[in-house]
Amino acid sequence: MSDKTFDIVIVGAGIIGATLARELSAYALRVAVIDKASDIPSGASRANSAMIHAGYDDQPGTIKADFCPIGNRLYHELAGPLDFTLKECGSYVCGFDDDDRKHLEKLLQQGRANGVPGLEIVNGEALRRREPYASAEITHALWAPTGAIVNNFEAVLAFMDNAQQNGVELFLETTMEELLLSPDRGEVVGIATNRGRFFAPVVVNAAGVNSDLIARMAGDESFFIRPTRGEYYITDKHVGHLVKSFFFACPTPKGKGITVAPTAENNLLLGPTSTVQASRDDTSTTGPGLAEVIDGARRLVPSIPLNMAITAFSGVRANPDTKDFIVNVLDRPTGFVNAGGIKSPGFTSAPAIARHLVELMEDRFSRRISFIPDPAFVPERKHIPRFEQLPLEEKRRLAEADRRYAQIVCRCEMVTEGQVVEAIARGARTVAGVKIWTRAGAGRCQGGFCGPRVVEILARELGVPCEEITRHGGHSRYLVGKTKDYWFRGEK
Amino acid sequence: MADMQVDVAIIGAGPAGVAAGIGAREAGAKDVLVLERDWDLGGILQQCIHPGFGLHTFKEELTGPEYMHRWVVRAREAGVTFLTNSMVFKLDEDGSLWVMNPERGVFKVTAKATVLAMGCRERPLGAINVPGSRPAGIFTAGTAQRFVNMEGYMPGHRTVVLGSGDIGLIMARRLVWEGARVEGVFELMPWAGGLRRNIAQCLNDYDIPFYLSHTVTRVHGKDRLEGVSVAEVDENRQVLDGTERFIGCDCLLLAVGLIPENELSRMAGVEIHPVTGGPVLNEFYQTSRPSIFAAGNVVIVYDLADWVSQEGVAAGRNAALYAAGALKEPLRRIDIRGGANVRLFSPQYVTAGEDVTVYFRVLRPIEKRCRVFADRGLFERKHRYVRPGEMNEIRLKAEALQALPRSVTTITIDAEEV
Ligand SMILES: Cc1cc2nc3c(=O)[nH]c(=O)nc-3n(C[C@H](O)[C@H](O)[C@H](O)COP(=O)(O)OP(=O)(O)OC[C@H]3O[C@@H](n4cnc5c(N)ncnc54)[C@H](O)[C@@H]3O)c2cc1C
Ligand SMILES: Cc1cc2nc3c(=O)[nH]c(=O)nc-3n(C[C@H](O)[C@H](O)[C@H](O)COP(=O)(O)OP(=O)(O)OC[C@H]3O[C@@H](n4cnc5c(N)ncnc54)[C@H](O)[C@@H]3O)c2cc1C
C-alpha cells in the first residue's frame, strides 16, 4: 500500500465531503476524499428525511440559520446541472391548539429574519383543501413554499460524481486511523489509513458522527457527539398520494417529532424518532421506535394504513453538545479544518457550508496551497438514465441504441440491465451500491426479484465469482457458496 | 421492433398464462400471444423441482418443470405464440400493452382481449415490521429457492424460517438436503400456513422443529446475519414476556405470505379487491375493464398449480369469446359475500351466465365435521376439517342462479361446524 500525496484530503464522503470536493474541483488542486464505507452515502447522508429545509427553524445568529436558506437556494440552482431529483413540494408545520399557534407565529418571525421567502400561516380548512388527508384536528399550519425534497442518494452521488469527473479521487473502504503531524506537532502533514498514508498539507474533518474523534486527533476537544438515532418507515407508492407536501408537527419537548413526507419517488416517508444511543453506527430499528413512528404519522395523516410499509431503517444524527455546526479552521495544528457535528439541517446547509469552507481555506491556507481556478472545470454531469421516468418514445430510442436498456432487472422500480452496468462502471461494487445508484431493490419487493440478477451482473462485470459479491461490503457476503461444493467440503 | 396486433394477449407464462393460451386458441382466437419476462417459460414452477404437481390434470405425480413442460407442449401444438425475455411494463385502459425485450427493443401490442396472468410475489421483511438491523442473509423463501434450485448457490449454513407457507416448508427440507442446518420454522398463528402434507413430509420427516404461536422479534448482525430473537405470542399475537430467546443463524428465510402482482392491473384502472389484492372478477374471469381478464395467482393465491391451470383455460376461452364479440351478455348481478369464517374468495360476483367455482379460504380452522356452503340451498358439502392453509371450493350452477328471485342480489358463502 503505497503512500500518496495530495493538496487536500477530505475525511468522509457524506454530503459535506461531497459538496466540498465538488467546490474544490473547480480549482487546480489535487484532492482526495476517503471514506471507510464500501458505498456512498453511508452515514447520516444515507438515512435522513431528505428535506431541503426552508430555513425558519434556526435561531437567527447561529451558523445553521445562516447556511440553511442559502443551501436551500443552491439545491434549487444545482438540481438541473448536477441532475439529481428535487421535488418542490413545500412544507407545513402543523399546529393543534393555541400554544402551537403561538409557536407557528414565532417560526414565521424567525423565518422572515433568516430571509426565508413566501412563509404564511394558513388555517386548517385551507390546509385540507390542498391536502385532503391532513388530520381534521389540525387548526393552523405554517406553509413554506421553498421547502423541498431531494433524493439524498442521488444528491451525494451527483456532487461526488461531478467532483471525480473534475479530477478528485475517491478512496472507499479507507479508514482514517491517525493524523500525521510535523515533529513539533504544529502542522498537519497528512493522515494514516488502513490503506497507507495520504500526505497533504490540509486535512478536512467531514467524518459526521465520528467528527469529534477525528478532531481529538488534532487536539481539539471543543465538542463531542451525542449519537442520536432516528427510525423511519417507507411505504408503498400506492399510498404516496396521501400527502403532496412535507408535514411536520409543532415540536413537543421530545423534539421536532414525527413527520410525514413524500419521497422524491412518491413513496411516503414516516419518521424519525429521536433516541440518544451509545453506539455511533448502530442503525437497527426497534419495536417501540417503529410504534412511535406510526402513532406520530397518524396524528398528522390518520388514514395512513398500517400494512403499507415496505421497509424500515434508521439513521444516526451527529448531534454535537454545542448545538451548532462546527465549521472552523484550527489555529494549531495548521492545516486542520473542521466540518463536524453537522446535524439537521445539515443536508440542506451542505452546499453553503462547502462554499464557506473554500473561502476560509483560501483565506487561511494561501501559503500552503494555491487556489488557482481550473479552466477545464465542467460544472455539470448526467445521472444514469432513469428508465422508468422516460417518456415512451425515449424508452424506445434508448433501448434501440443499447439493448441492455430493454432487459428488465428490477420490476418494481423498472430498472434495466443498462442502468446496472452503468452504475458498476461509475463505481458501484455491492448490491447496496447498485441500489443507491439505480433504485434496483428499493421497491415493494425489496430485492426479492432483482437480488439474484444484480448479484449475477455484478459478478460478471467485476469478473469475480457470485459468492464474492457482498450486500454492503465488509463481511456481508450475499451467498455462502455453491450448492454442490458446499456438500463436498462438508461445511456444517 | 414493429408493433404487433393480436386477438388475445396474455401476460405471464406460468401455469395460468400457458393454459389461458390453450383456452383462447381452442375457443377460436387466431393470434394468441403470451409474453413472459423471464428467459424461460413455466413461471414459478421452473424452480419447484419437487414432485406433487399434476395429480388432478395428468393423474400422476410430476415435478414443477415436468408439469409445465407438458402444458407448454400442448400450447405449442395448439398454436400459441410465446415471447420470452419480454417484460410488459405498461398496460393501457383498452388492454393494449407495452413490452421491452432485449432482442426487439420496446414495442406495443394491441389486443382485442388481454389476460392477466402475472402470478404473485412474496411479502418482504419490511412489510411485517420485524425490528433490528438489515444484514445480508435475509431472503424470501422463493428467492432462496431460485438461488438453490436454478442458480446453484447456498443462501446460508444455519437457517431459521419465519412463517409456515408452503414455500418455506419446502425450502426447509431442501436446505437440509443440501447439507445446511435448519434451526426451526416459526409461525405467528396457532395453526400452519401451508398444507398439512408439507408439514409431515418437509418438517416432521427431517426432525425440523416447528413452533406455532411464535415469531421473530429482532434481527441481529451488522454485515452478515448473526442470529434472530424469537418469542412466543399470545392469542392477540402479542409477545409473551420472558419467552424471548436468541438463535444463532446466518440465514433467515421468510414465508410470510404472497401478494398478487397487480401493478399493471392498477395502471389499466382495473378494480382491485382490498382483501384479495387481486382484480374483482365475475364468473367469466372478467375484470372491471371488460376486455381484460385474469387468472391464477394474480387473482387469489392458490394452493395447487392444477387448479390454476384449470382457471387459466377458462379465462383464455372467455377472452377469446370476448375478442370475437361472442361473450354472453350478463343476465343479472349477484354479489358474493363471505360469512363469519371467510377470509377471502374469488370471484366476487356472478351473472348467472355460467357454472362457476368459488374458491375461498377460512379465517380459522375447524378440526371437526363441518359444512362448506352457499346459502339459499345453492351448495353444501361436508368436510372432515377446514384449514386456513387449504383452499375450499363452492360450485354454483348457472341454472340454480337464474332460478333465484330477482330480488336476490347477494349470496353468502361460509364454513361452519355441523
Ligand atoms: C434521522 C435524520 C434525519 C435528518 N433529516 C434531515 C433533513 O430532513 N434535512 C437536512 O437538511 N438534514 C437532515 N439530517 C441531517 C443530515 O443528514 C446531516 O446533517 C448530513 O447528512 C451530515 O452529512 P456529513 O457529511 O457531515 O455526515 P455523514 O453523511 O455521516 O458522512 C460522514 C462520513 O464519514 C465517514 N467516516 C467516519 N469516520 C471515518 C473515518 N475514521 N475514516 C474514513 N471515513 C470516516 C463515514 O463513513 C461517513 O460516510 C438528518 C439526519 C438524521 C440522522
Ligand atoms: C415461490 C413459490 C413457490 C411455489 N411452490 C409451489 C409448489 O411447490 N406447489 C404448488 O402447487 N404451488 C406452488 N406455488 C404456487 C404455484 O406456483 C401457483 O399455484 C402457480 O405457479 C401460479 O401460477 P401463475 O401462472 O398464476 O403464476 P406464476 O407461476 O407466478 O407465473 C406468472 C408469470 O408471469 C410472469 N410475469 C409477471 N409479470 C410480468 C410482466 N409484467 N410481463 C411479463 N411477464 C410477467 C412471471 O415472470 C411468471 O413467469 C408456489 C408459488 C410461489 C410464489
Question: Are the C-beta atoms of residues B341 and B415 closer than 8 Å to each other?
Answer: yes
Query: Which residue, among B93, B121, B113, has the nearest Cα to B37 in the 3D structure?
Result: B121
Please determine whether the domains at B1-121+257-327 and B124-256 fall in the same fold group of CATH: yes
Indicate the fold that domain A91-145+225-317 takes in CATH.
D-Amino Acid Oxidase; Chain A, domain 2 (3.30.9)
Q: One-letter amino acid identity for A445? A: C
pLDDT tens by residue, B373-403: 999 999 999 999 999 989 999 999 999 999 9
What was the pLDDT predicted at A227?
A: 97
Residue B10's φ and ψ, nearest 5 degrees, are: -125, 130
As to burial, measured by CB atoms within 10 angstroms (0-12 exposed, 13-18 middle, 19+ buried), residue B407 is exposed
A269 CB neighbour count, 10 Å cutoff? 24
- Cα separation, A310 vs A296, in Å, equals 18
As to burial, measured by CB atoms within 10 angstroms (0-12 exposed, 13-18 middle, 19+ buried), residue B292 is buried
**Secondary structure (3-state) at A33:** strand
Question: Are the C-beta atoms of residues B39 and B330 closer than 8 Å to each other?
Answer: no
What was the pLDDT predicted at A313?
A: 94
Catalytic residue among A53, A140, A356, A383: A53
Query: Using 50, 70 and 90 to split pLDDT, how confident is the model at B316?
Result: very high
CA distance B124 to chain A (A): 6
Residue B161's φ and ψ, nearest 5 degrees, are: -110, 125
Cα-Cα-Cα-Cα dihedral sign, residues B265, B267, B273, B274: positive
In this prediction, residues B37-63 reach a mean pLDDT of 94
**With a 6 A CB cut-off, is B145 part of the ligand 2 pocket?**
yes
- Cα separation, A241 vs A260, in Å, equals 12
Chain B positions in Cβ-Cβ contact with residue A289 (cut-off 8 Å): 131
CA distance A308 to chain B (A): 7
Judge: B100–A477 Cβ closer than 8 Å, yes or no: no
Residue of A nearest to B259 (CA): A445
Superfamily of domain B124-256: FAD/NAD(P)-binding domain (3.50.50.60)
Buried b (16+ CB within 10 A) or exposed e, B129-159: bbbbbbbbbbbbbbbbbbbbbebebbbbbbb
Please determine whether the domains at A1-85+149-224+321-383 and A91-145+225-317 fall in the same fold group of CATH: no
Q: What is the dihedral of CA A176, A178, A182, A188, to 10 degrees?
A: 40
Taking each helix axis from N to C end, the angle separating B64-77 and B15-26, rounded to the nearest 10 degrees, works out to 20
pLDDT tens by residue, B354-375: 999 999 999 999 999 999 999 9
User: Cis (ω within 30 of 0) for the bond into B347?
Assistant: yes
**Which residue, among B129, B228, B275, would best test binding to A if mutated, counting the most A CBs under 10 Å from its CB?**
B129
Q: What is the dihedral of CA A152, A156, A161, A162, to 10 degrees?
A: 100
A53 is a catalytic site residue: yes
Q: One-letter amino acid identity for A398? A: L
Q: What is residue B195's DSSP assignment?
A: -
Name residues whose C-beta falls within 8 Å of residue B15's C-beta, 6 or more positions apart in sequence: B43, B45, B67, B68, B71, B296, B305, B308, B309, B312
Element (H, E) at A188: strand A188-193
Q: How far is CA A367 from the centre of its chain?
A: 33
Element (H, E) at B168: helix B166-177
- Cα separation, A371 vs A360, in Å, equals 12
What CATH number belongs to A387-486? 1.10.10.1100
pLDDT tens by residue, B209-228: 999 999 999 999 999 999 99
Judge: A311–B121 Cβ closer than 8 Å, yes or no: no
What was the pLDDT predicted at A257?
A: 86
Question: Are the C-beta atoms of residues A266 and A308 closer than 8 Å to each other?
Answer: no
Q: How many residues does chain A have?
A: 492
What was the pLDDT predicted at A301?
A: 97
Mutate to test the pocket of ligand 1, among A191, A210, A233, A313 (most ligand atoms within 8 A of CB): A210
Query: Which residue, among A345, A333, A406, A48, has the nearest Cα to A181 in the 3D structure?
Result: A333
Query: Which residue, among A79, A87, A99, A105, has the nearest Cα to A50 in the 3D structure?
Result: A87
Ligand nearest to the CA of A269: 1
**Secondary structure (3-state) at A141:** strand
What was the pLDDT predicted at B125?
A: 84
What separation in Å is there between the alpha carbon of B296 and the centre of ligand 2? 8
Q: Write down the domain spans for chain B.
A: 1-121+257-327, 124-256, 328-418
Judge: A474–B101 Cβ closer than 8 Å, yes or no: no
What was the pLDDT predicted at B128?
A: 81
Question: Are the C-beta atoms of residues A163 and A24 closer than 8 Å to each other?
Answer: yes
What was the pLDDT predicted at A491?
A: 47
- Cα separation, B7 vs B30, in Å, equals 6
What is the Cα Rg of chain B in Å?
22
Mean pLDDT score across all residues of chain B: 95
What is the CATH architecture of A1-85+149-224+321-383? Answer: 3-Layer(bba) Sandwich (3.50)
**Secondary structure (3-state) at B158:** strand
Q: Say if A234 is an interface residue toward chain B (CB within 8 Å).
A: yes
**Secondary structure (3-state) at B331:** coil
Residue A257's φ and ψ, nearest 5 degrees, are: 85, 180
Q: What is residue B136's DSSP assignment?
A: B
- Cα separation, B170 vs A290, in Å, equals 32
Q: What is residue B199's DSSP assignment?
A: I
**With a 6 A CB cut-off, is B297 part of the ligand 2 pocket?**
yes
Q: What is the pLDDT along chain A (492 residues), one digit of tens a residue?
A: 689 999 999 999 999 999 999 999 999 999 999 999 999 999 999 999 999 999 999 888 888 899 999 999 999 999 999 999 999 999 999 999 999 999 999 999 999 999 999 999 999 999 999 999 999 999 999 999 999 999 999 999 999 999 999 999 999 999 999 999 999 999 999 999 999 999 999 999 999 999 999 999 999 999 999 999 999 999 999 899 999 999 999 987 666 689 999 999 999 999 999 999 999 999 999 999 999 999 999 999 999 998 889 999 999 999 999 989 999 999 999 999 999 999 999 999 999 999 999 999 999 998 899 999 999 999 999 999 999 999 999 999 999 999 999 999 999 999 999 999 999 999 999 999 999 999 999 998 999 899 999 999 999 999 999 999 999 999 999 999 888 775 555 444
User: Any residues with Cβ below 6 Å from ligand 1, and which?
Assistant: A 11-17, 34-37, 41-45, 48-51, 53, 175-176, 206-210, 230, 272, 315-317, 342-348
Nearest-5° angle of CA B132, CA A243, CA A419? 65
Q: Write down the domain spans for chain A.
A: 1-85+149-224+321-383, 91-145+225-317, 387-486
What was the pLDDT predicted at A486?
A: 56
Long-range contacts, stretch A73-80, CB < 8 angstroms, 24+ apart: A74/A351, A74/A352, A74/A355, A75/A148, A75/A150, A75/A155, A75/A348, A75/A351, A76/A52, A76/A146, A76/A148, A78/A158, A78/A351, A79/A150
Q: How far is CA A168 from the centre of its chain?
A: 19
Ligand nearest to the CA of A229: 1
Name the grid cell of B242. Answer: 420472558
CATH for B1-121+257-327, options being 3.50.50.60, 3.60.20.10, 3.20.20.80, 3.40.50.2300? 3.50.50.60
- Cα separation, B295 vs B305, in Å, equals 12
